Amino acid sequence: MQAEKAGYTILVVDDDPPILQAVRRILEQADYVVLTSLSGDHAWNVIERGHARVDLVLTDIVMPGSLDGFALAAKVRQRELKLPVLFMTGALLEDDESSAEMAKKGLMLRKPFSPKQLVEFIDSHLFGAGAAE
């Protein structure tokens, strides 16, 4: 599968620089190309300008600025219907319907997570059953 990953670009969005850099290192070690963004607003600019091909967006949910993770995902879906958006969060509210729905669909990874959990989460959405649909 390593050869399959080469050339796939993941846009990682998190307002916490240490988390952003840790996720970047883990995904680069798994042979992904990684772009990073400290805000939903910046990430949207990257997608909207289209200078770099993005195969998957992995975003934190709670972020400052005009676009949190859910708002970013909504904008992405309006523009790029086939671009997968996955979520990672440490601030999951058990009674939040959006968060519960994302978790139920397997679109959310809870922080803290291990490097193995992160890579398996990304791999499953790019290469797992149903990923090519």
For the segment 93-116, what is each residue's pLDDT rounded down to a tens digit?
Answer: 666 777 777 777 889 998 999 999
pTM for the structure as a whole:
0.89
Q: Which residue has the higher pLDDT, 91 or 133?
A: 91
User: Which domain covers residue 26, as residue numbers?
Assistant: 2-121
Q: How many domains does the chain have?
A: 1
Specify the higher pLDDT residue, 120 or 130.
Answer: 120
Q: Is residue 34 part of a domain?
A: yes
The pLDDT confidence band at residue 130, using thresholds 50, 70 and 90, is: very low
Q: Quick one: pLDDT at residue 83? A: 93
**Measured CA angle at 97 (ends 94, 98), to 5 deg:** 105
126 is a domain residue: no
Check which CATH number belongs to the domain holding 80 and give it.
3.40.50.2300
Using 50, 70 and 90 to split pLDDT, how confident is the model at 129?
low
Does residue 107 form part of some domain? yes
Copy the structure tokens of residue 115: 């490097």
Average pLDDT across the chain, whole number: 88
**Is 62 contained in some domain?**
yes
Q: Provide the residue type at 34 as one letter.
A: V
In a domain, 128, yes or no: no
